[in-house]
Amino acid sequence: MSTELFALNFLYSFLATVSGGVFLTLLFFWLKEKCFPLPVVTGRWYFEVRTVNTTYNPYRGMVLRYVAMLWREGNCIKGTVEKIYENSSTGERKYVGTNRTRGIAEGFVEKNYFSKDQVVLHVVEDGHGRESTNLYDLTVISDENMTGKFSSMVADQDGDVVWQRNAF
């Protein structure tokens, strides 16, 4: 094989490899952006927590509702929450204005290609009398709904949580 033929074969092989690599890169980028995008979590959410297990029996079966404003930066989530409703052993009440407790939310989106996406949020709530820490492990059902479990450091609570775009 002559040097000229070798150089020509090398050039063709090199160009085929580079153009194939560019094509695959563009294909995977397009698939990631159009077929498998991150879930839409930015915006207003309403969520309801139901306490199933707790070390403080008056909290068992308690229902709390919150409103949250979330935004996504890449796969990181940030936002704020406010408690708007409580139904517990002490009665049922709605929180309005200055009676609402506020919290800061931080978390991330876990992109799954063969199952539903997951959202993990850590909320520190400035409650009446003390701060509380809550962890939400959510499965994205759609851009309108998420469901999952929560854990709270207040009375070692845990239970079920439902997130939705519309108010309860």
pLDDT band at 102 (very low <50, low <70, confident <90, very high): very high
* b/e map 14-42, b = 16+ CB within 10 Å: eeeeeeeeeeeeeeeeeeeeeeeebbebe
Distance CA 96, CA 82 (A): 10
What mean pLDDT comes out for the span 124-145?
A: 93
Distance CA 11, CA 5 (A): 10
pLDDT of residue 6: 87
pLDDT digits (tens, 9 = 90+) for 63-83: 999 999 999 999 999 999 999
Mean pLDDT of the chain: 93
Distance CA 139, CA 89 (A): 29
Check pLDDT > 90 for residue 27.
no
Query: In sequence order, what are the residues at sequence separation of 6 or more whose Cβ sits closer than 8 angstroms to the Cβ of residue 1?
Result: none
Distance CA 49, CA 23 (A): 47
Can you give the C-alpha Rg of the chain in angstroms? 24
pLDDT of residue 65: 98
pTM for the structure as a whole:
0.83
Query: In sequence order, what are the residues at sequence separation of 6 or more whose Cβ sits closer than 8 angstroms to the Cβ of residue 92?
Result: 85, 86
Output the CA torsion sign for 158, 154, 42, 77: negative
pLDDT band at 111 (very low <50, low <70, confident <90, very high): very high
Cα atoms in the 13 Å half-sphere on the side-chain side of 129: 1
Check pLDDT > 90 for residue 84.
yes
Q: Which residue has the tokens 């890449």?
A: 74
pLDDT of residue 75: 94
pLDDT band at 95 (very low <50, low <70, confident <90, very high): very high
pLDDT of residue 127: 81
Check pLDDT > 90 for residue 88.
yes
What mean pLDDT comes out for the span 156-164?
A: 97
